[in-house]
């Protein structure tokens, strides 16, 4: 073969450049630490992709660079290059081989997706409410937290929803990302496997303060987790008892901000998805069925626990999520106390 030495040379160079590119990329500190079982599988696929990237990078760049170096026009040569029009077997080969490769990669990708989606029936379920611009984590024990505590090596299933706009749950160390959509519940399944402090960062543009919509995520040992749950439950019960006995507008205001009421209800009389709380307490509320009701303690409590039961005129039925039904009597008392303070 006429150009055998050139072909041999680029074959060797392609192999060399592939390996060097691959080594360069895997040593370039491109990924955060792996903090979930899913991240291990996903990083395996990333590694495969990096191998393919390194090879194809070399396959394209080496012959071009080699041509530039070796076949460069001699000074003073004004003749045309040797005309090579096409080579059908070659064209077919570089259509069919990549086709086989992408089908194979698709198969690997589907298999990898199935692995990270594998469900553990004993997964720990936590409800997540994302709202402008905070995260709230509702634990099955009946309390809410603004920090996500997770036990290590136990699959968790986050049931996520939003009262306002799209958000997205992303902990870079977990690798997986899932949007939170108003009006529906999306699932996020993860098995944390590395102790430490991380952050969930909202990854779907959700308005002006989107950048700041972050919340701490703590992965702790099983014992530490159980202790934390016990402590939080006790604190929640103590607070509930204290609030029921002695409601406080200050605590109510904190709840207003941390529970997400703020996303829809203003405190200054301006409009929103829900009615303003300013001057609400004790006022006469016109309902969508034409009747009117006085905004007393009983009405306000039932509106929080069963938002769909009565709808204020000109507002949308069902706009308010039912996720507030786990509030304690004490928390509701605090909230009502806060409403009372908004004259």
Partner 1 sequence: MNRLTQPGWVRGLLSLVFGLALGSQGLAFLQFLATKTYNPFDVGSWVLGSVVAALTFFAGAGGKKVFHLALMRGLGWQFLGTLAGGFLAEFLRALLPDMEPFGKFGFSEPAWVLGAIVGAVSFLAGAGVLTDWFKWAKGESTPEHHHDPDGWEKYFGVSLDHKVIGVQYTFTSLLLLSYGGLFALLFRTELAKSGMQFLDLNVYNTLMGLHGMVMIVSILLGIAGVMNYLVPLLLGAPDMAFPRINAFSFWIAVPAAVLLLSSMALGGFDTGWTGYPPLALRAPVGIQMFYVGVWVAGWSSILGALNLIVSVLRLRAKGMTAFKMPIFVWAAVATSIISLTATQMIGLAFQLVIFQRVVGMPFFDAAKGGNPILFQHLFWFYSHPVVYVFILPGLGIISELLPVFLRKPLFGYKWIAMSSLAIALVGFLVWAHHMFASGMNEYLRVPFMYSTLLVAVPTGVKFFSWVATIWQAKIPRDMPTPLLFVFAGIFVFLLGGLSGPPNATVSTDLHLTDTYFIVGHFHDTMFGGYVFPFFAALYYWFPKVFAKRLDEKLGKIHFWLMTPSFIFLTLGMMKIGLLGMRRRIADYDPALGFDIWHLLLTISAYLVAASVLIFFINVYKTLKNGEPVTGNVWNSRSPEWQVPSPMPAYNYDRPFEVVGEPYDYGVPGSTYVKM
Stretch that binds partner 1, among 65-73, 141-149, 297-305, 327-335 (CB under 8 A): 65-73
Beta carbon of residue 324, minimum distance to partner 1 (angstroms, whole number): 16
Residue 108 or 249: the one with the smaller Cβ distance to partner 1 is 108
Binding mask 21-40 for partner 1 (x = CB under 8 A): -------xxxxx-----x--
Stretch that binds partner 1, among 150-158, 205-213, 220-228, 250-258 (CB under 8 A): 205-213
CA distances in angstroms from 64 to 56, 58, 71, 80, 101, listed in the order given: 13, 10, 10, 18, 23
Residue 34 or 248: the one with the smaller Cβ distance to partner 1 is 34
User: What is the rounded CA–CA span in Å between residue 323 and residue 259?
Assistant: 10
Binders of partner 1 in range 76-135 (CB under 8 A): 77, 79-87, 90-91, 94-95, 98-99, 102-103, 105-106, 108-110, 112-113, 115-117
For tokens 């934390």, name the residue: 228
| Residue 322 found at the interface with partner 1 (CB under 8 A) | no
Residue 201 or 251: the one with the smaller Cβ distance to partner 1 is 201
How many C-beta atoms surround the C-beta of residue 191 within 10 A?
21
With beta carbons less than 8 A apart as the criterion, state whether 158 and 150 touch: no
Beta carbon of residue 304, minimum distance to partner 1 (angstroms, whole number): 17
| Residue 168 found at the interface with partner 1 (CB under 8 A) | yes
DSSP 153: T
Decide: helix, strand or coil at residue 281.
Answer: coil
The C-alpha torsion from 138 through 194 and 176 to 28, rounded to 10°, is 150
| Residue 270 found at the interface with partner 1 (CB under 8 A) | no
Residue 105 or 152: the one with the smaller Cβ distance to partner 1 is 105
User: What is the rounded CA–CA span in Å between residue 297 and residue 254?
Assistant: 19
| Residue 181 found at the interface with partner 1 (CB under 8 A) | yes
Backbone region of residue 217 per phi and psi (left: phi > 0; alpha: psi in -120 to 50; beta: other values): beta
């Amino acid at each position: 073969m006429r150009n055998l030495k050139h072909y041999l040379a680029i074959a060797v160079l392609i192999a060399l450049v592939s390996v060097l590119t691959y080594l360069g990329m895997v040593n370039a500190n491109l990924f955060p630490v792996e903090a979930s079982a899913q991240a291990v599988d996903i990083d395996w696929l990333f590694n495969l992709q990096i191998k393919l990237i390194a090879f194809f990078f070399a396959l394209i760049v080496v012959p071009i660079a080699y041509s530039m170096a070796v076949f460069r026009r001699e000074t003073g040569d004004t003749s045309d290059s040797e005309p090579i029009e096409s080579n059908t077997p070659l064209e077919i080969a570089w259509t069919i081989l990549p086709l086989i490769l992408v089908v194979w990669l698709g198969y690997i990708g589907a298999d990898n997706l199935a692995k990270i989606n594998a469900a553990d029936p004993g997964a720990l379920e936590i409800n997540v409410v994302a709202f402008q611009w905070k995260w709230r984590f509702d634990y099955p024990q009946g309390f809410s937290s603004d920090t996500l505590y997770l036990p290590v090596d136990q699959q968790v299933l986050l049931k996520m929803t939003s009262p306002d706009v799209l958000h997205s749950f992303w902990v870079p160390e977990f690798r997986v990302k899932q949007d939170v959509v108003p009006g529906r519940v999306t699932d996020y399944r993860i098995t944390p496997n590395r102790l430490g402090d991380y952050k969930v960062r909202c990854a779907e543009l959700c308005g002006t303060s989107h950048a700041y919509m972050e919340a701490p995520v703590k992965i702790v040992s099983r014992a530490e987790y159980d202790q934390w749950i016990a402590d939080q439950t006790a604190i929640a019960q103590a607070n509930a008892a204290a609030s029921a006995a002695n409601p406080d507008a200050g605590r109510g205001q904190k709840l207003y901000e941390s529970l997400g009421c703020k996303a829809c209800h203003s405190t200054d009389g301006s409009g929103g998805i829900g009615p303003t709380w300013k001057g609400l307490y004790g006022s006469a509320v016109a309902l969508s069925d034409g009747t009117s009701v006085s905004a007393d303690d009983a009405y306000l409590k039932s509106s929080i626990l069963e938002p769909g039961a009565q709808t204020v005129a000109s507002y949308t039925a069902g706009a308010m999520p039912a996720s507030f039904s786990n509030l304690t009597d004490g928390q509701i008392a605090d909230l009502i106390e806060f409403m009372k303070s908004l004259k």
